[in-house]
Every structure is written in C-alpha cells, then in structure tokens.
Amino acid sequence: MSERLAVRKTYKLFIGGAFPRSESGRSYAVTSSKGDFLANAAKGSRKDARDAVAAARKAFPGWSSATPYNRGQILYRVAEMLEGRRAQFAAELVDADGVTAKKAGELVDAAVDRLVWYAGWSDKIGAIRGAANPVAGPYFNLSTVEPTGVVAVIAPPMGPLLGLVSVIAPVIVTGNTCVVVASERAPLPSITLAEVLATSDLPGGVVNILTGSAGEIAPWLAGHMDVNAIDLTGADADLAVRCEELAAENLKRVLRPPLDRIDWLADPGMDRMTAFLETKTVWHPIGV
Amino acid sequence: MFEYAPAPESREIVDIKPSYGLFIGGEWVDSQGDTHHKTINPASEEVLAEVAWATEADVDRAVQAARTAFTTWSALPGSERAKYIFRIARIIQERSRELAILETLDNGKPIRESRDVDLPLVAAHFFYYAGWADKLGYAGFGPDPRPLGVAGQVIPWNFPLLMLAWKIAPALACGNTVVLKPAETTPLTALAFADICRQADLPPGVVNIVTGAGETGAALVNHPGVDKVAFTGSTEVGRMIARSVAGTGKKLSLELGGKAANIVFEDAALDQAVEGIVNGIFFNQGHVCCAGSRLLVQESVADEVLDALKRRLSTLRLGDPMDKNTDIGAINSAAQLAKIRELAEAGVNEGAERWSPACPIPERGFWFPPTVFTGVAQSHRIAREEIFGPVLSVLTFRTPAEAVEKANNTPYGLSAGIWTEKGSRILWMADRLRAGVVWANTFNRFDPTSPFGGYKESGYGREGGRHGLEAYLAV
C-alpha cells in the first residue's frame, strides 16, 4: 500500500460570507518560503473587489447597529475559533514564512491574544473617545464615536496571520465593515482565517477577503465611491501615493503606511481604531 | 409689522489703512510681487483697502519665518504659550466692537451677528485653547504629545475671524507655528489680528498672515516646509488639496461643504421649529457650511409650517448690514451672488416653485432675498448642491425612516436638525443621521468645547473641544 494521498483544500475568495472563485477565473501559484508549490490561490479582479464592496455595504447597517457587547462577544468567538485551529495555522505559517514550528505557534498565540484584546475595546472606546462637552449655554452636548463605514484594508505582506488579524480587528470592532486585500506573497492563512470568521457568528459581509495582486486591486478600492476609508498599511510607497490620490475623489479617510517596519508583537495602541471612527456631536436645549 | 427707525452702527472707531502688506516674521512687509487686490464692502461696493496677493516667494518667506519661530515656540513651556494665547483672547475682547464693525464692513454680515455671535465665539475659542496649552499631557494623546511643526491654514470668507480663531488657537496651543491665508474677499480682520499679535508681544514668526487668492493658497498647501494643512472651504477645493497632499506625509484636516437636512416632525413645537428653520438657513445669509438648507417637513404639518415660515420671513429686514435691526445682510461677493442666482434659476427650470417675501433690494451692493422652494424633488440640483446662500429647499416625508433615508441621501454629512417633542425619537434619529453635528430642537449652535466637523465628503478631522487638539499634534 502506498501512503494515502492528501485531500488538498481549494483556496477561494471570501465575499459576503461565501467562498466564491474569482469571477475572472484566474488563479496564481503560491509557493513556500523555500519555493515549493503550496496551492493555487484565486487572483481577485476589479469585479470581485466591487462585489466585495457591495457585500460590505450591505452588512454595514446591521453590524454598525449591533450592540458593542455583541460585537465584543463575536470578536472573542473569533479568538476561540482561531485557538482551536492553532496547529493548522502554525503549519501554514511554517510553510509561508519558513519560521520554526515554535515561532509559528507563538505567532498564532499572539494573533489569538490580539483578537481578545480588541474584543474588549468594543464597549470601552466610546467612553475614551466620546465626551460630554461643557458648552457655555443651557444645552446638553454629547460627542460619541461612530464607525466610518466601509473600509478597504491593504493587509501587510509580512505577518500573514498576526499582521492580518491586527489590521482587521480594529476596523470591525467599532462597527465598520471591510474589504481586505490579503498578503499577495502569503495569502493562504487569510483564507483559512476566513473559515474561522465564517464559523464565529460574524455576519456575512462584515469581513471580505480578496487574494491576488494588491497593485491591481487596491486602486479600484481606493477610487471606489462607496468605500469610506482605506488602510494602506500593506501598500508599497508608489502604490500608497497612487491610492491616496484616488482616495481624494470622495474624501476617504486614509491611514498611510507606517514609516518604519511595524513590530506586530508590540502594543498596538488605539490608532488603528480611531483612524476609522467619526465623532458625532448632538445638541439639545435644557429647559422646562 | 412695526416700522423701525434706522439704527446704524458707527464706523468711526475702525481705522482702515489704504493698503496692506503681508505679516511675516512679526513685521509688515511688502509683497515681492506686484499684484494687489481691492477688498470691497459688499453692501455698497465701496473700496475698503488694497491688499497684496502673496506670491510663491512671499509664501516661502512666511514658511521660513514660521519654521524659525517653531524651534523656540515649541520649546516654550506650555504655561507660557498659554499666557500668550490668553492675552490674545483678552485683546480680542477689548477690541471686539472694532473687530465686529470691520467684519461687517468687509463681509456684509449684519452687525448684530458679527457683534453677538462671531466676536464672542472668537474670544471664547482663544480662551478655551489657551487653557489646553499646559495640559496636553492629560488630553489622552500620550504623556508628552508633540506639535507637528508649521501649519499652513486656508480659511473661507463666511466667518473670517471665527475661522481664523478655529485654526490658529489650537495650532498655537499645541506648539505649532502658523502661516494663515484669509479668503481673498475678506482679509481685513485677519490683518487686524496681525496687529493683535503684535500688541500681545507674540514672538515674531509664530503667526504669519499672507493674503491672496487660490494661487497663494496652493503655494502654501504645496510648500514642502509645511507639516500640517488645515482647510475650510468647498468640497471641490478640499478634494484638490487632498490629492496634492498625497504622498507628502503632511497631516490634513478638512472642513468642507454641507447640505444639511432640518427635519420637522408633526409633534414639534412648530413656532420654535419655524424660528429654527429661519436661523438654520437665513443666519449669515445662508453662507454657512452647516446651514439647514433642506427642510424635511412631515406631510401632515407641511402646509401649516410653510404658512408660518412665510409669515415669519415677511418680517425679516434685508439691507444695510451696519444697521442694528438688519436680519439679512449682503451676499459676500458678485461671484457668490452669481452662483446663488444660477442655482435658484436651476430650481425654477427643474420645476420647483419659488417664493420670496416682498422685500426691497438696495440699489448698490450684492443682495439676494430670502427664498423658499417648494415641490422640490431629491434629484433637483437645489436639493443636492450646496447653494451657500439664503435659499431653502422644502421636501416632505411621512415616516421617520423616510426622513432618515432622505436626510442621508447626499454625499455630504456635516450637520442635521431634528424637531420633535419626543425624546426617544430624537435619539433614534440622531443615531441614524450620518452627520458630524446634530442639533435637536435647536440649530446653528457653536461652542469652543464642542467638536465640529463632517462625515463623508464634508471632510475629516474635528475642530473644537479635546478632539480639536488631535489635528495639531503628532499622534
């Protein structure tokens, strides 16, 4: 008897809670850090990006009006599901990045912990970023934070799991929905993460993941009139400038790529959440 | 209606020079170019003064001066910066009558508004941010938040001195230095502010004022020595600025246009609502980015509200802005008047019904009567485009959900108004309106402690309150 032949997984896109192939019918070969063939990933197209934006927009009213408690629970549930697949992700990271099994395990742990950390922010950020403003007159005046809307996220090329989780979680915990362009170099963990998201009570369309070429897809998202903001963390310098220019068309909020290499293991701070929040201030007279 | 005797404010206490240079490095200097512009009183078309239009070289000098001043200004203890800004606030209070008159002469807004709204808010804004200068470590941006450097600031003509205050006060409090360009049609109060900086002994170069039009503004925004760009104005120009800043790393805040819905429910206190509608769109001749330019009125009370509104509008006094009884002043410029006329004509051509009260129009100057359009569809230009004038478009709705749908059906998201006596409905509506400021049972209220700014294409960043510090700190 020969050794049993493995049943391989087909890596597809993640749009509106479903796993479609690219409408373009394209795929590209993904290799390990050593150059070995791993899988054919879907090569997302402009049309896929637009479908993903439509799905994200459709999901926005429900997700943004879910209670922060509920959103926090769902993010925690994502962490639980990720924890349960620790071995699978560690193996994918060993393949993708050539890290040791021990290091890969630590990176998965850090991703789980990151999700737990952000989950706790859902019902606290409003207290930190909102305000009761002492105006000079008989008015009740309250500032609260609200999600910006649909956010396009260009995920970092390095850090295919921890980096990816670290850019998605801060966007959705506050009620935004997103379209993520995964690391072109190492896209496979992103689709496995999609399987986690799909089984975590996260409503379909809150997170949509496209694999393929960031250089090809990102400009369509940057210029899309129904996208409210763009995170350029994973864009190289030229692509980032091009996207920022395109984003001006409907005055998207832009999170520019960092000047220095990001240490994904460091304390992330609040910036990735606050970049995609709006402040709304409500006035009402006080009287009898 | 009572007859009112004229009650003109005197312009005697205002000393306008025949011509002004640029304020750079604490000195008045001549422009290196030779383009000058006459600024006029829009109520009379009388020339008030001639101002220089700064060239690229002038802007460069101003940015250098600000850069030089930044080293010492940013190193000054916050408590010392605070005292300079408090001084400025006090001098504004001391000279508020003069500044109000100057504002009204140059801008055309009624003296009652510049005296009772603009100037008190200007002083309050400096007073408020002065107090932040030595408390930045407690503002929630880390223990020792740093300034950005040189701020290039471009402001509009609708609230000239107030917009200057919104820009300069937080910038200085955070330790930045400033090059500010006032609007080409309303430079005079900014130039008077330069004199206030001198009276306050503000170190040279901390505030620089360069006058000019779009080219001067572009030179400032694009100057590589500018670390921060702040702009208030049209969405069109805001887009251009966002595009030109791309890739430079400059921090950008934009406060742009609006097309606010003012929503009146059938259970509202209708007399108060009518006052709020009037204040919402006819305050400052409608030259207000957050103006309530779309009235959404519940169908069941539409006739009643419109009748009351028309009665109220018939009592408004349009005319000499210097008269203390004037409600509606002059349109700021011939160009703005042409734009308002063009959009009003589009309203008629697209089938809406136009109404204005009988209202004598002065012979000289730029004027537009308060105007109400009924029978407006959401597709009409007057329901979609910012008119920036005293023109109200009236639409109706039946259910709260329909009101939300119509209110949010715009690329803008600056402000909104809600009129109802039902508290839970106010909060339900406020939750769903995609706008940065929501006024419930009031409209057009401003305060330095209260963040102001838009969603969507109305721009990004907030001015006012703790939130307003973020735009001027390296965070």
Determine, for residues A283 and B437 on separate chains, whether the beta-carbon distance falls below 8 Å: yes
Q: Could you list the residue range(s) of the whole structural domain that residue B298 is in?
A: 261-440
Residues B451, A271: C-beta atoms closer than 8 Å: no
Question: pLDDT at position B379, please?
Answer: 97
| Residues of chain A neighbouring B441 (CB-CB closer than 8 A) | 284-285
Please give the interface size between A and B, counted as residue pairs whose CB atoms are below 8 Å apart: 105
Same domain, B315 and B429: yes
- B312 with B197, same domain? no
Check whether residue B238 and residue B98 sit in a common domain: yes
Predicted confidence band of residue B9 (pLDDT cuts 50, 70, 90):
very high
If asked whether residues B436 and B460 sit together in one domain, one would say: no
Yes or no, beta carbons of B243 and A248 under 8 Å apart: yes
Q: Which fold would CATH assign to domain A46-260?
A: Aldehyde Dehydrogenase; Chain A, domain 1 (3.40.605)
Measured at the alpha carbon of residue B46, what is the angle toward residues B45 and B49, in degrees to the nearest 5?
120
List pLDDT tens digits, range B109-151.
999 999 999 999 999 999 999 999 999 999 999 999 999 999 9
What's the pLDDT at B75? 98
Q: Which of the following is catalytic: B174, B197, B289, B290?
A: B289
Written as six digits, the tokens of A219 are 């400009």
Residues ≥6 apart with Cβ < 8 Å to B466: A131, B132, B139, B140, B451
> What integer pLDDT is reported at residue B91 of this predicted model?
98
Q: Say whether pLDDT at B370 is over 80.
A: yes
What digits encode the pLDDT tens for the residues A238-250?
999 999 999 999 9
Whether residue B446 is contained in a domain is answered as no
Q: pLDDT tens digit string along B338-348?
A: 999 999 999 99
Share of residues in chain B with pLDDT > 70 (%): 100
Q: Quick check: is B116 in a domain?
A: yes
Residues B84 and B207 in one domain: yes
Q: Are residues B403 and B315 in the same domain?
A: yes
pLDDT tens column, B41-79 = 999 999 999 999 999 999 999 999 999 999 999 999 999
Average pLDDT over residues A16-25: 98
**Res. B356: pLDDT tops 70:** yes
pLDDT of residue B3: 81
In-domain check, residue B449: no
Asked if A285 lies within 8 A of B441 by C-beta distance, the reply is yes
Q: Between chains, do A131 and B465 touch, taking CB under 8 Å as contact?
A: yes
Q: What is the 3-state secondary structure (H, E, C) of A198-234?
A: HCCCCCCCCEEEECCCHHHHHHHHHCCCCCCEEECCC
pLDDT of A2 higher than 90: no
Which string of DSSP letters, residue by residue, matches B409-423?
-SS--SEEEEE-S-H
Neighbours of A13 (CB within 10 A): 28
Task: Based on the fold, state whether residues B251 and B320 are members of the same structural domain.
Answer: no
Domain residue ranges of chain A, discontinuous segments joined by +: 46-260
Report phi then psi at B353, rounded to 5.
Answer: -100, 125
CA dist A15 and A17 (Å) reads 5
In which residue are the tokens 């005319």 written? B319
- From CA B261, how far away is CA B224, in angstroms rounded? 39
Q: In terms of Cα–Cα distance, which of B292, B260, B265 is closest to B408?
A: B260
Q: Is residue B13 part of a domain?
A: no
Collapse the DSSP code of B27 into the 3-class scheme (helix H, G, I; strand E, B; otherwise coil) and give the result: strand
Which of B449, B452, B469, B473 to mutate: most A Cβ within 10 Å?
B449
pLDDT digits (tens, 9 = 90+) for A54-88: 999 999 999 999 999 999 999 999 999 999 999 99
B183 in any annotated domain: yes
Q: Of the candidates B235, B451, B475, which has its C-beta nearest A281's C-beta?
A: B451
Tokens for B196, please give them: 């206030």
Given this model, what pLDDT does residue A175 score?
98
Q: Do B245 and B286 sit in the same domain of this protein?
A: no
Query: What does the pLDDT look like over B308-334, one tens digit per residue?
Result: 999 999 999 999 999 999 999 999 999
In chain B, what are the helix, strand and coil shares in percent, each to the nearest 5?
Answer: 40, 20, 40
Please, which residues bridge with residue A11 across strands? A41
**Residue B5 is assigned to a structural domain of this protein:** no
Q: Strand runs (DSSP E) across chain A, as ranges?
A: 27-31, 37-42, 131-132, 139-147, 150-154, 177-181, 207-210, 229-231, 253-255, 277-285
What is the CA B56 to chain-centroid distance, rounded?
26
Q: What is the mean pLDDT of chain B?
A: 97
- For residue B255, indicate whether it is catalytic: yes
Give me the pLDDT at residue A40, please: 98
Q: Give me the DSSP letters along B168-224.
A: HHHHHHTT-EEEEE--TT--HHHHHHHHHHHHTTPPTTSEEE---SHHHHHHHHH-T
The answer to whether residues B67 and B91 belong to one domain is yes
What interface predicted TM-score (ipTM) does this complex get?
0.97
Percent of chain B whose predicted confidence (pLDDT) is above 90: 99
* pLDDT, tens digit, 9 for 90 and up, residues B427-455: 999 999 999 999 999 999 999 999 999 99
B293 and B433 fall within a common domain: yes
* pLDDT at site B1: 60
Place of tokens 């924890």: A83
Q: Write down the pLDDT at residue B419.
A: 98
A1 pLDDT band, cuts 50/70/90, is low
Number of domains in chain B: 2
Are B223 and B298 within one domain?
Answer: no
Q: Is B289 a catalytic residue?
A: yes
**Which of B173, B81, B177 is CA-nearest to residue B125?**
B173
Q: Which of B9, B255, B386, B470 is catalytic?
A: B255
Say yes or no: B430 contacts chain A, CB-CB below 8 A.
Answer: yes
Judged against a pLDDT cut of 80, whether residue B2 lies above it is answered with no
pLDDT given for residue B307 in this prediction: 98
pLDDT for the residue numbered B4 = 87
Q: Confirm whether B8 is domain-assigned.
A: no
Shared domain check, B251 and B266 = no
Is B10 among the domain residues? no
What is residue B122's predicted lDDT score, i.e. its pLDDT?
A: 98
pLDDT attached to residue A130: 97
